[in-house]
Structures are given as structure tokens and as C-alpha cells.
Amino acid sequence: MVLFYDYTSIGSSHMEKVVGNQDSIKTERLENGTVIAAVADGVGSCKYSDIASSIAVETSVRVCSEEIMSVSDAPDLLHIIQKAFSYAEQEIDKRSLSDGNLIIEYDTTLSLVIYDGKNVAYGHSGDGGIVGLSSDGDYMKITEPQKKENVYVIPLRAGKDTWIINKAEGNFTSVLLATDGVYDVFFPYLLKGQPVEIYVPLIRYFMDNNVMGASPETIELVGKEREKFLNGEGCASITDDKSIIVLINDKVLPELKEDSYYIEPDWDTLQMEWNKKAYPHLYKDEGNFTTADADSELSHDTKP
């Protein structure tokens, strides 16, 4: 059985600006056991992005549900997701026309997954992301954040040529969708280029049923514990809206890897390596030069 927990809340930066939660989430279990999940992040600079994100998740999940349940044979999931994204884009456009507002004020991202407890079909647009945990115990980045020049998010409105719609290769025991506020925490910049770029000890807490113990009886408690963690001091650095959906096959546990796969990264060493690449002029004559010395020279905080 596919279980799920989900959560969304307003970020502290939006509270300070008196802006509401611009994220939206939607999860639906079909009669055949398949679960459809979507997250959307309304672009912060757009006045009506909260409306757009809500339309995006509601429309895309509804279209997928109707299309899958309307066929007796195996549905073409990629075609269905393409249709769902197109309908979501059209509905947002209709809303902007109805409201008499510019469409650029309704920009949003959209990530969607169709999961049957093993296989993952997905659609993706924007800077959030989707992560899978395979039956072999490997965490896999299913999507890449879409940003123009690594700054400007590519929204759903950019059109079908920018949407990533595909099937993930592998047998997945768990799938995670998140908007960028949460997603980015799982991929610290200090791990970029490392053999494992995902912050495994952290994401494991959210995805690995070996440690979660999720079952039909406990899934609500599991979700509440993760919600408490996201609102706690350990995630205080997340100032954006926080949204996450995790889908879990409680009948199959992922294989356990070597202990070294789950240990906390050596952040001090990683920081030093990053500093040397980013500021090589500080290390021409290292001598007894330390990370603290480098930090004192830097004009911004580079630690995760």
C-alpha cells in the first residue's frame, strides 16, 4: 500500500512581509492504489502566485485522476501528465483573463508524480524537485531545479518545451516532492561535486521506512513528527514557504547500505575545500592558514 504524508506552511520571510503562503500541495489516492501528488510554488515576486499554485496542483491532479480512471488498459502516463500540465497552464491563463490581470502576475512552479509503489512517472517545471529512494537503498535526484542563469526560476508558463516529463528508472520504495525552500536543504552546496550530493542523514529521516516505521496506523504520527522537525530549530534557516509530500510503499523496505553512507559529512573539511576553490588567492601561501582565517576574510556566511 502506498502511504503518504504532506505538509505546507508559510515561511518566516513571508510573515515579515505580511505575505501569505504561496505554496500549494495536493495528494490523491486512486481506487487502484496509485497515488498522484503535486507541489507548486508561486513565484514570490508575482502578486497572484498563490492563486496560480493552487490552480496548478488542483487541476493537474484532477486531470491525471480522471484520465487514469477512464481507461481500462494500461494508461499512457506521460501523455496524461503532458495533458495535465497543459490544462493547468490554460486554467491559470483563464483566471488571469477573468480577473483582468497580467498573466506574469500568476507565475508558479509545478512538480507532479504518479506512483504505484514501485514505478514513478513525473512532470516538473521550476526550482523545486523530486527525489526517489530505490529498493537498493540509493537516493536519486529525479529532477533538476530549473533556473535561468541559476537565478530566475523557469515557471510553468514557460510552456511545454521547458517541462520535463518522463519516467524514473528503477524500483522505488519512497518518493519525495518539495518546493525549493525544503528541497534545497537536502542538496547543500558544499556537497556539490561529491560522490553523494544528497544530504543523506537528513533526507533519510523523511524517506527511509527503516527509520520512520510508517504503517497505516502510524503514518499520521510520522507526518506530525516531520512537521515538528521542519518547524524546529534544525530548519530555522528555511525562511521560504515549506512544502513537502512523501509517498511510501510500506510493504517494501529499502536495502541498508554501509554505515559510511549515512554518516554526517565533515562540514569543516568540505568548507575548506570550497573556500580554496572559491577564493584561491587566500591560499597562495597557506602556512598555518585555517578555516577560521578564511572565514574572517569572507564577506558572507558560506556555511550550510
**Phi/psi of residue 29, each to 5°?**
-100, 130
β-pairing, 242-249 vs 139-141, is unpaired
For position 304, what pLDDT does the model report? 42
Exposure of 70 by Cβ count < 10 A (0-12 exposed, 13-18 middle, 19+ buried)?
Answer: exposed
Q: At what angle do helices 200-207 and 219-230 cross, to 10 degrees?
A: 150
Q: Is the pLDDT of residue 300 over 80?
A: no
What CA–CA distance (Å, rounded) separates 36 from 61? 6
What lies within 8 Å, CB to CB, of 4 at 6+ separation is 27, 29, 35, 37, 219, 245, 246, 247, 248
Map out the domains of the chain as residue ranges.
Answer: 2-265, 266-304
Cα 287 from chain centroid (whole Å):
42
Q: Is the pLDDT of residue 303 over 70?
A: no
What CA–CA distance (Å, rounded) separates 93 from 103? 6
Any idea which residue has 508575482 for its cell? 46
For position 293, what pLDDT does the model report? 55
Contact 111, 132 (CB under 8 A): no
Each residue of 19-78: pLDDT tens digit?
567 899 999 999 999 999 999 999 877 889 999 999 999 999 999 999 999 987 888 999
What CA–CA distance (Å, rounded) separates 158 from 107? 9
Contact 141, 191 (CB under 8 A): no
Contact 84, 60 (CB under 8 A): yes
Each residue of 165-178: pLDDT tens digit?
999 988 999 999 99
Each residue of 254-282: pLDDT tens digit?
999 999 999 999 999 999 989 888 888 87
Provide the grid cell at 4.
Answer: 503518504
Instruction: Return mean pLDDT, the chain.
Output: 88
What CA–CA distance (Å, rounded) separates 3 from 251? 10
| Residue 18 pLDDT level (bands cut at 50, 70, 90) | very low
For position 1, what pLDDT does the model report? 87
| Residue 239 pLDDT level (bands cut at 50, 70, 90) | low
What CA–CA distance (Å, rounded) separates 93 from 178? 24
Q: How many residues belong to the chain? A: 304
For position 73, what pLDDT does the model report? 81
Q: Is the pLDDT of residue 296 over 70?
A: no
302 three-state secondary structure: coil
Q: Is the pLDDT of residue 298 over 70?
A: no
* Mean pLDDT across 276-302: 61
Q: Is the pLDDT of residue 301 over 60?
A: no
CATH H superfamily, domain 2-265: PPM-type phosphatase domain (3.60.40.10)
264 three-state secondary structure: coil
DSSP symbol at 256 = P
3 three-state secondary structure: strand
Q: Is the pLDDT of residue 297 over 80?
A: no
**Phi/psi of residue 166, each to 5°?**
-165, 180
Q: How many CB atoms lie within 10 A of CB 279?
A: 13
